[in-house]
Amino acid sequence: MATRKPAPPAFVCTECGWTTAKWVGRCGECQQWGTVSEQAAPTGFLRRMTPLAPHADRAARPITQITTEDAPRRTSGVGEFDRVLGGGIVPGAAILLSGEPGVGKSTLLLEVAAQSARAGRRVLYASAEESPAQVRLRAERTGALHDELYLASETDLATILGHIDEVRPQLVIVDSVQTVSSSLTDGAAGQPSQVREVAATLIRVAKERSLPIIIVGHVTKDGQVAGPRVLEHLVDVVCHFEGDRQTSLRFIRALKNRFGPTDEVGCFEMTGGGIAEVPDPSGLFLSQGATEPGTCVAIALEGKRALPVEVQALTIPSSAPNPRRVVHGLDASRVAMVLAILEKRASIKTSMLDVYVSTVGGVRFTEPAADLAIAIAVAGSVQLNSVPRTVAAVGELSLAGEIRPVTQAAQRRSEAARLGYEQVVDDRSKTLRAALNDVRARNTNRRPDGEIPPF
Ligand SMILES: Nc1ncnc2c1ncn2[C@@H]1O[C@H](COP(=O)(O)OP(=O)(O)OP(=O)(O)O)[C@@H](O)[C@H]1O
Ligand SMILES: [Mg+2]
C-alpha cells in the first residue's frame, strides 16, 4: 500500500506573505533578509475544510440588491488634513500616518484630537512613545487641552483595547504602531509579526464599531513605512507627512485612499505654538524684493495644487579648474542638462562660470516643468537681463532646445492667471531661443544706454 508523503512545511515571508517549501535566508519576492520563517502548512487544513452554509445576513447577494448607507464624513477640524482625506474622516476608517522622526506627526494628531474634542467628540490618544506628562506639555504649548481628550501612555495592545471599552471614544489615535505589542504574538514591538497583529486588531475594532482609528507609522531610511508591506494593504488610507528639516513647511499627501482621491496635498507650518494650516501657500516660495537679473517664476504642481516657485540663479567667473555647480531644491542633473542646452542651443556659455541655482523658501521642485525657468534664470544672470514680475515660465526642455508641453498645463496657466501673472512662457514658444527672445521683448529694465540687454 502506498503511504502518503507528509506535506512539506511552508515557509512564509513575514514582510510580504511569499511562501516557499524550503527555508531561504532572503525572500524571493521582496528581497528582504531574515524575514522567512516556518509556519504550519495550511494544505491539510484546507483539504479537510468542509463548506459551511453562511448565515442569512452574510449570504452572497447580487450587487444590485446591496443597499448603500451613505457614509457621512466628519470633519477632523483641521481643514488641510480633511482635504487630503477627501473631505473628512469616514466612520470606521483606519488611517495610517507615516513620516520621518520629528517631522511633526504627534503634533498634527494632537491638533486633530483637540479639534475633535472641541467639537464634542471624545478622543482617546494612546501614546506608546511618550509619557502622559510629555504629551500634556505639548498640549499646553499648542493649546490642545480639553476634557474630552483622553490620554493613555500604553504599549500593550490589550490594555489599549480596554481603554477603548472604558472611554468609549469617537476617535482613537495610536502613536505608534511600531511601539505597541500584543501578548498573543511572539517577538518584540516593531517586529513585522507584531506590527501586523497590532494593526489587524485595531482595524478589526475600527470596522466592528465604526470607530475611526488613526495609526502613526515610522518610516525606514529610504522613506518606506517601516514594518510589513501588508500594513499598507490593511488600512484604508495611507498618508505621508513630509517636510524639509531646514524649513518649517510641511506637506501631507495621501498615498492610498479608499474613500477619496490621492492627488490632494495639505500644507502646514510648524510653529512654536504647534502646527498651523497654510490654506494658500502661493506666496511662500517667492522673493519679496525688486526683480534682479537671474530670477524666474515657474508654476509647480503639488498634487492638485499649482504653486508659483521662484528659481534663482547666480553666475560668476570661476577661478577653479572645474567651475562649481551648486544646486538647492532642484534636480542637479536636470540643471546640468539645462546648462548644456543653453550653451549649445542658445549660445549662452556657462562652462567658464560658477553656477549657483536655488529655489526660494527651500521648496523641492524636481519636475521637468522647471527646466524653462532654470534656463531663463541662468540666461538672465549671464546676460544681466531681468524677467518682469508679471511673467512666469513652465516647460520641459528637450536636448534639441525645443520646449515640450508639461502635465496639467491648463491648471498651471489658470493658477498663474489667478495670481496675476500676465504671461506664461511655455511650449507655445516652441524653442528655447524663441522663449528667451519673448522674455527679452517684455523686459522693461533698459540699460543706461537705452538698450534692452540681449538674451
Ligand atoms: N518648544 C518647541 N517650539 C517649537 N517647535 C517645537 C518645540 N518642540 C518641538 N517642536 C517641533 O516639533 C517637532 C517634533 O514634533 P513631533 O514630536 O510631533 O514629531 P513626530 O513626527 O511625532 O516625531 P517622532 O517620530 O519622534 O514621534 C520638532 O522637530 C520641532 O520642530
Ligand atoms: Mg511622535
Q: What is the pLDDT of residue 125?
A: 96
CB atoms within 10 A of CB 45: 10
Q: What is the pLDDT of residue 6?
A: 57
CA of 127 to the centre of ligand 2 (A): 8
Lowest mean pLDDT among 42-46, 142-146, 173-177, 294-298: 42-46
Residue 78: Cβ-neighbour burial (10 angstroms; 0-12, 13-18, 19+) = buried
Measure the CA dihedral 225/231/237/239, to 10°.
-10
- Grid coordinates representing 266 are 495639505
Indicate which ligand has the atom closest to the C-alpha of 104.
1
Q: Which atom of ligand 1 is nearest to the CA of 110?
A: 18
Check residues 343 and 66 and name the one with the higher pLDDT: 343
Lowest mean pLDDT among 194-198, 279-283, 329-333, 399-403: 279-283
Check residues 94 and 228 and name the one with the higher pLDDT: 94
> From CA 342, how far away is CA 399, in angstroms rounded?
10
Q: What is the pLDDT of residue 376?
A: 95
**Taking 60 as the threshold, does the pLDDT of residue 453 lie above it?**
no
106 lines ligand 1 (CB under 6 A): yes
Q: What is the pLDDT of residue 69?
A: 63
Q: How far is CA 375 from CA 285, 347, 423, 427, in A?
A: 18, 12, 17, 14
Which of 3.30.230.10, 3.90.1150.10, 3.40.367.20, 1.20.1090.10 would CATH assign to domain 283-442? 3.30.230.10
217 lines ligand 1 (CB under 6 A): no
**Taking 80 as the threshold, does the pLDDT of residue 108 lie above it?**
yes
Question: What are the residues whose beta carbon lies below 5 Å from ligand 2 (ion)?
Answer: 106
Indicate which ligand has the atom closest to the C-alpha of 109.
1
274 lines ligand 1 (CB under 6 A): no
- Percent of the chain past pLDDT 70, that is, above it, reads 90
pLDDT, one tens digit per residue, over 220-274 is 777 777 777 778 899 999 999 988 777 788 989 899 999 888 878 899 999 888 9
Fold of 79-279: Rossmann fold (3.40.50)
Check residues 14 and 210 and name the one with the higher pLDDT: 210
Q: What is the pLDDT of residue 293?
A: 86
**Taking 80 as the threshold, does the pLDDT of residue 70 lie above it?**
no
**Taking 60 as the threshold, does the pLDDT of residue 44 lie above it?**
no
99 lines ligand 1 (CB under 6 A): yes
**Taking 50 as the threshold, does the pLDDT of residue 46 lie above it?**
no
Q: How far is CA 278 from CA 114, 115, 143, 243, 303, in A?
A: 18, 17, 18, 14, 15
Q: What are phi and psi of 223, to 5 degrees?
A: 90, 0
> From CA 377, how far away is CA 385, in angstroms rounded?
9
107 lines ligand 1 (CB under 6 A): yes
**Taking 70 as the threshold, does the pLDDT of residue 452 lie above it?**
no
Q: What is the pLDDT of residue 45?
A: 43
Candidate of 270, 271, 275 to mutate for ligand 1, largest count of ligand atoms within 8 Å of Cβ? 270
The DSSP bridge partners found for residue 230 are none
**Taking 90 as the threshold, does the pLDDT of residue 215 lie above it?**
yes
